[in-house]
Amino acid sequence: MQTSFIPDLPDEFPCLSVFLGFILAFGAAKIDMSNVAIVFGALGVGIGFGLQNIFNNLISGLILAFERPVQVGDVIQISSINIMGEVKDIGIRASTVRTFDGAEVIVPNGNLISNEMSNRTLSDSRRRQEILVGVAYGTDTNRVLEILNKVVHENEMALNEPSPLILFTGFGDSSLDFRVLFWTSFENGFVAKSEVGVAIDTALKKAGVTIPFPQRDLHIIPDDEKSKIVDQMKTK
């Protein structure tokens, strides 16, 4: 009866049986095991470099699972790959982000941990909106402040807390400049800013307040005066 040189191992270790079989086969063929060790060492280094990113993403996935800096439903912005969207799924190796134009981007978890990432809705979904307004010189600034304040408070999407802030910011080149600041929920931000901007334009027109165009003074010098200026510069 033929005797096997490979010891009987439990069924739970099939890979170990195969490995021992290779070792005995190399020994029977009188192959120098030191050469085999060098080959396997080089192979191990290559595999290690190849799996480096995979292990990095796996560890990053564990960090996301325990620290939870990003959750499903959050709106995030990743500067390194220039995308912004809603997190749809967080996997052990990669996460899925759906951008606002409908594309689904598979983002390795390492990008969420190692690179700069902004979470727009982590602890607070409120966002501040800003509208810059300029009116013609000679306009009553207090009247403009009243109009802007009324328009913002009448918009249902503008939050009362934090309260809106209307500021006169200075004297521009062609206008008296104002700054309108108000808070909205993140999902209503763009719509609210558009509605408030349109309402401001309507209210100012109704009150007879002019929003001026940029103005520049143009001085035209006649040819005879040009020659005089050139002669004066030459004499100097």
**Confidence band (pLDDT; 50, 70, 90) for 212?**
confident
Query: For a pLDDT cut of 90, what percent of the chain falls above it?
Result: 34
Surface-to-core class of residue 166, CB atoms within 10 Å of its CB (0-12 exposed, 13-18 middle, 19+ buried): buried
Rounded Cα distance, 189 and 193, in Å: 6
Which pLDDT value is given to residue 41?
Answer: 64
CA 21, distance to chain mean position in Å, is: 54
What DSSP element (H or E) covers 15?
helix 14-28
pTM exceeding 0.85? no
pLDDT in tens, 118-152: 888 877 888 899 999 999 999 999 999 999 999 99
CA 186, distance to chain mean position in Å, is: 14
Residue 17 vs residue 107, higher pLDDT: 107
pLDDT in tens, 52-72: 777 778 888 888 888 888 888
